Amino acid sequence: MNKDIATPLRTRAILEKYGFSFKKSLGQNFLIDTNILKKIVSFANLHENSGAIEIGPGIGALTEQLARSSKKVVAFEIDQRLLPILQDTLSPYENVEIIHKDVLEADVQTVMEEEFKDIDDIMVVANLPYYVTTPIIMKLLEDHLPIRGIVCMLQKEVADRISAKPGTKDYGSLSIAIQYYTEAETVMIVPKTVFVPQPNVDSAVIRLTKREKPAVSVKDEAFFFQVTRSSFAQRRKTLLNNLTSQLPDGKQKKEEILAALDASGVEPSRRGETLSLEEFGRLADELYPHFH
């Protein structure tokens, strides 16, 4: 059994050996607690025929745990300086492929087809760089990749927004966008003390389980998201105010917006944060003919 990468001692030794310095711009924080890594992996429910996609493997602490629990791991790493380190730390594991690319620019679909040929259970498991968490999650979902779901560590306040329920202060267009595609739950809170360097914020692990089909069926997905974003443009404003100020020609189409609110059974004086996904779905469908 190989010594875990994620112990404070081993992490320090690896960083010293390679003279590695953290890049603030890449949001690099490495986990130095093996138990937490094992827990993160356990939330993904992997088995010996599963594939795992990792984003930002760092020095391989989580990658190693994934390699032990799955058939194959494919990790995207943007920082060239980490490639030789990963080659060294992960040398005991035959089932790891490191791809030197920014996941936001990569054709993940093609990579999956090439790397996971005989694997049909695939999870994304990652300690995501905090500055690009949301774009990465949205890309993975909007590209309709054949994944079972995502287990990732991110900033606690973003996790709160992603798993928020209607009527709470954290609920917003991000909650809706992600819950449209997945069932979202925060499964664990992670203190900042288990990272080097320590981040300024607490972290959380969320699990997103992809729905068979989206939470609501809408006429036009892009327009549905446009309506939800518009509804939260200014949180203190009513739906009617937000929609008239945000939708194209909304001010001229106030009557049509009122009619659509009425037809979908939503009071114009309500605020965006009080509407469920279903209510937003109905509203977007009633508004759609007036804006297309």
271/281 Cα distance (integer angstroms): 15
Q: How many domains would you assign to the chain? A: 2
In this prediction the pTM is 0.92
* Beta strand pairing call for 30-31 and 50-55: unpaired
What pLDDT, on the 0 to 100 scale, is given for residue 160? 96
Answer yes or no: are the C-beta atoms of 151 and 40 closer than 8 Å.
Answer: yes
Same domain as 230, residue 194:
no
In degrees, rounded to 5, the angle at the alpha carbon of residue 18 between the alpha carbons of residues 14 and 20 is: 90
Which stretches of the chain score pLDDT less than 50? none
What pLDDT, on the 0 to 100 scale, is given for residue 32? 86
Q: What is the CATH number of the domain that holds 198?
A: 3.40.50.150
The domain boundary residue, chosen from 177, 210, 243: 210
118 residue type, one letter: D
b/e map of 238-267 (b: 16 or more CB within 10 Å)? bbbbbbbebbeebeebeebbeebbeebebe
Same domain as 237, residue 162:
no
The helix/strand count (H/E) of the chain reads as 12, 9
Same domain as 185, residue 244:
no
Answer yes or no: are the C-beta atoms of 259 and 292 closer than 8 Å.
Answer: no
Q: What is the CATH number of the domain that holds 271?
A: 1.10.8.100
The domain boundary residue, chosen from 175, 210, 245: 210
Same domain as 270, residue 162:
no
Same domain as 151, residue 47:
yes
Q: Which residues are annotated as a binding site?
A: 29, 31, 56, 77, 102, 127
65/90 Cα distance (integer angstroms): 10
User: Tens digit of pLDDT for each residue in 138-187?
Assistant: 999 999 999 999 999 999 999 999 999 999 999 999 999 999 999 999 99
Picking from 40, 22, 187, 38, the residue whose alpha carbon sits closest to that of residue 124 is 40
b/e map of 200-235 (b: 16 or more CB within 10 Å)? eeebbbbbbebeeebbbebeeeebbbbbbbbbbeee
The domain of 155 spans 8-210
What pLDDT, on the 0 to 100 scale, is given for residue 269? 96
Same domain as 133, residue 200:
yes
What pLDDT, on the 0 to 100 scale, is given for residue 27? 65
Residue 18 carries which DSSP code? T
Same domain as 148, residue 281:
no
Residue showing tokens 């699990």:
207
Same domain as 163, residue 21:
yes
Same domain as 231, residue 196:
no
Q: Which residues are annotated as a binding site for S-adenosyl-L-methionine?
A: 29, 31, 56, 77, 102, 127
Residue 143 to residues 61, 109, 214, 218: CA-CA distances in angstroms?
A: 27, 8, 14, 18
